[in-house]
């Protein structure tokens, strides 16, 4: 998780440093990458929570 946070921070810094109009497309690509990364991370966290919850329920039923 730490390395992912650093990666996102780097991307944000790159976005801030892009000022020229021709770099707008590159900026959009970076934002899309950020969005996908964040989305997949949230998805994985949700899956992990669901697995943990079902494991706890199974353990309590035994």
Residue 3 predicted with pLDDT over 50: yes
Sign of CA dihedral 17, 19, 25, 27: positive
Which range marks the domain in which residue 28 is found? 2-61
Q: What dihedral angle (degrees, nearest 10) is formed by the CA atoms of 24, 28, 31, 48?
A: -170
Q: For the chain, first and last CA: distance in Å?
A: 34
Residue pLDDT, tens place only, 40-60: 766 777 787 888 888 777 787
Residue pLDDT, tens place only, 6-28: 677 777 777 676 666 567 777 77
Number of domains in the chain: 1
**CA 16 centroid distance within chain:** 19
Which tokens in the block code for residue 34? 């950020």
pLDDT-derived band of residue 1, with 50, 70 and 90 as boundaries?
A: very low
């Amino acid at each position: 998780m730490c390395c992912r946070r650093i990666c996102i921070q780097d991307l944000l810094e790159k976005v801030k440093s892009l000022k020229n109009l021709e770099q707008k497309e590159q900026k959009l690509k970076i934002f899309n990458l950020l969005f996908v990364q964040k989305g997949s991370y949230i998805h994985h966290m949700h899956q992990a929570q669901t697995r943990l919850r079902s494991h706890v329920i199974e353990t309590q039923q035994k």
